[in-house]
């Protein structure tokens, strides 16, 4: 049916409908069944008639959609020209008014360019819809490249989509779009089969779906991001399945809820939304069990009993100087990096005191972690991934007042949300002296690691200089982002996990 013209499709449907109705009428009143009981033949013909009626509705909807699409194609250029002229006149008027009020032309031009980019994206999105639902996406091989002499005149095979041969012959030939590269898998894809992130990078359907699924599994990856910019769901529903969109919306509600409540049953452990919580009791939709929203255990009367396992974890956190997020109350252990913590729920806080980020005066770096991280990078760059010494135990100074405060177990119901801040500006006047202290401690520390190299002062001094340079670079550039990556051949150790790929 998808390859038939509108007239032929209508004729076939009408003949099928007549044959089915005739066969159905022939079965009425025949047979030895009880009155009011339908035979199997009658039931089958009745279902077949329903399918034909649905097919007839589909054909009518397809004719209407193609009529609207053809009108857009024929009248679209003229409407776009008229719209552009009106927009240009409106922009000139707004620019003159803004300049008369003292605004800078450069700022206004930037706003206009941003609006023009949005309009261009909308036009491309509409063209993708035409390819997917009307014309059909071309079957392009993974290694096809229009710039290397491949066929780009639009005559290649089309997918088996609802389009008649007559329609395909009558429609205008448009200039073929080039293939696009997926930034995740690197494969060439038809331009209508890739989604564009806000940063401009493009993902194929499979990689975009995997990106959204990973974000639902690992909260630290939520929402899905590219170049630190969130990828909106509504803009990319065309490239995701309906089931994935439904699951993602449910996860978005879960991850945006502070102080969440989950079913206390270990066999269920499903998230309970706020609308199912009332008077300190939450009812699970999955199993029907009732959970206390205060202690997260089974519903009980009176005050919440002491949670022994939780108190043990809190006591261990005090001993190990861990911190808890004030938003989701998850436990955080810092192994490497600065004291600026971004929890997987998105809340930003100081690892030293637990306060919201940039509301305290604690040091941004712990010198031991800084030293150990510099050792890791130096060993990695020199091909000795398995030789990473621990940092020296530095003497305690007057900064003991900045040690983590005792962790309280009473959660705030509605903690303040963090604001987006720029990276903190450090006071670097003391940086050289601190690095010198670390390196002085290191001089007494390295001989314990390599007794046979005690006489090799040149190599020792070279390593000191490298570590000092790395520590300075980490101190000032720890929040840098990377949009380009280089390939390093051979087996490598996966940083942070201690695994060596085969």
Q: What is the pLDDT along the chain (502 residues), one digit of tens a residue?
A: 556 677 888 888 888 888 888 888 887 766 566 666 777 888 888 898 899 889 888 888 888 877 877 777 777 677 778 877 888 888 788 778 877 777 665 555 555 555 554 455 566 777 777 666 665 555 433 344 444 444 434 443 434 444 555 445 444 444 556 688 899 998 988 888 888 898 889 999 999 999 999 999 988 889 999 988 999 998 888 889 999 999 999 999 999 888 889 999 989 999 999 888 887 889 999 999 999 888 888 888 766 666 677 778 888 888 888 888 888 878 888 887 788 898 888 889 999 888 998 899 888 888 888 888 888 888 877 765 444 454 444 443 343 444 344 444 443 344 444 443 333 333 434 444 444 444 444 444 444 445 455 556 788 888 888 888 888 888 777 666 666 666 667 676 666 544 444 3
Give the H or E element holding residue 196: strand 194-196
Structure tokens at 270: 């499903």
On the question of a cis peptide bond just before residue 223, with omega within 30 degrees of 0, the verdict is: yes
Within 8 A by CB and 6+ apart from 131, the residues are: 137, 190, 192
Stated length of the chain: 502
pTM reported for the whole predicted model: 0.52
Separation of first and last alpha carbons in the chain: 52
Give the H or E element holding residue 389: none
- In this prediction, residue 434 carries a pLDDT of 43
Instruction: Give Cα 181 to chain centroid, integer Å.
Output: 19
Structure tokens at 383: 């091909």
Task: Spell out the alpha helix ranges (H) of 101-131.
Answer: 105-130
Q: Given the structure tokens 């002229």, which residue do they identify?
A: 85
**Distance between CA 103 and CA 107 in Å, rounded?**
8
β partners of residue 194 = 204
On the question of a cis peptide bond just before residue 448, with omega within 30 degrees of 0, the verdict is: no
């Amino acid at each position: 049916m998808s390859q038939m013209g509108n007239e032929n499709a209508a004729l076939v449907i009408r003949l099928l409908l007549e044959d089915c109705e005739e066969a159905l009428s022939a079965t009425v009143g025949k047979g030895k069944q009880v009155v009011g009981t339908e035979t199997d033949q009658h039931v089958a013909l009745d279902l077949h008639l329903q399918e034909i009626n649905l097919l007839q509705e589909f054909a009518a909807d397809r004719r209407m959609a193609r009529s609207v699409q053809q009108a857009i194609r024929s009248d679209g250029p003229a409407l776009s020209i008229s719209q552009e002229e009106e927009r240009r006149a409106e922009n000139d008027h707004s620019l003159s008014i803004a300049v008369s009020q003292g605004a800078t032309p450069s700022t206004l031009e930037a706003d206009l360019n941003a609006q023009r980019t949005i309009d261009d994206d909308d036009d491309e999105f509409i063209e993708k819809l035409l390819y997917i639902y009307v014309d059909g996406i071309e079957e392009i091989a993974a290694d096809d490249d229009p710039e290397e002499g491949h066929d780009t005149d639009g005559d290649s095979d089309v997918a088996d989509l609802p389009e008649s041969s007559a329609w395909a012959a009558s429609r205008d030939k448009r200039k073929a779009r080039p293939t696009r590269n997926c930034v995740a898998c690197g494969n060439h894809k038809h331009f209508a089969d890739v989604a564009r992130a806000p940063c401009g990078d493009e993902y194929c359907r499979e990689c975009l779906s995997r990106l959204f699924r990973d974000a639902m599994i690992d909260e630290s990856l939520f929402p899905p991001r590219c170049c630190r910019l969130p990828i909106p769901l509504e803009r990319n529903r065309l490239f995701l399945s309906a089931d994935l969109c439904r699951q993602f919306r449910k996860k978005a509600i879960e991850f945006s809820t502070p102080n969440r409540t989950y079913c206390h049953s270990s066999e269920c452990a499903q998230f309970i939304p706020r609308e199912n919580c009332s008077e300190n009791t939450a009812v699970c939709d999955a199993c029907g069990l009732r959970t206390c929203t205060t202690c997260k255990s089974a519903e009980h009367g009176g005050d919440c009993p002491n949670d022994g396992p939780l108190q043990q974890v809190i006591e261990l956190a005090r001993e190990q100087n861990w911190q808890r997020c004030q938003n989701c109350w998850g436990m955080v252990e810092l192994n490497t990096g600065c004291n600026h913590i971004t929890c997987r729920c998105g809340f930003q806080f100081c690892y030293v005191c637990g306060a919201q980020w940039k509301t305290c005066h604690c040091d941004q770096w712990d010198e031991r972690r800084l030293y150990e991280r510099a050792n890791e990078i130096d060993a990695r760059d020199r091909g000795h991934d398995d030789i990473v010494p621990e940092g020296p135990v530095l003497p305690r100074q007057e900064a003991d007042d900045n040690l983590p405060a005792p962790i309280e177990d009473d959660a705030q119901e509605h903690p303040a949300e963090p604001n987006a801040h720029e990276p903190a500006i450090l006071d670097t006047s003391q940086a050289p002296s601190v690095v010198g202290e670390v390196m002085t401690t290191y001089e007494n520390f390295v001989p314990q690691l390599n007794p046979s190299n005690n006489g090799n002062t040149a190599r020792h001094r070279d390593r000191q200089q490298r570590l000092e340079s790395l520590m300075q670079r980490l101190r000032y550039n720890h929040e840098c982002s990377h949009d380009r990556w280089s390939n390093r051949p051979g087996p490598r150790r996966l940083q942070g996990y201690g695994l060596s790929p085969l």
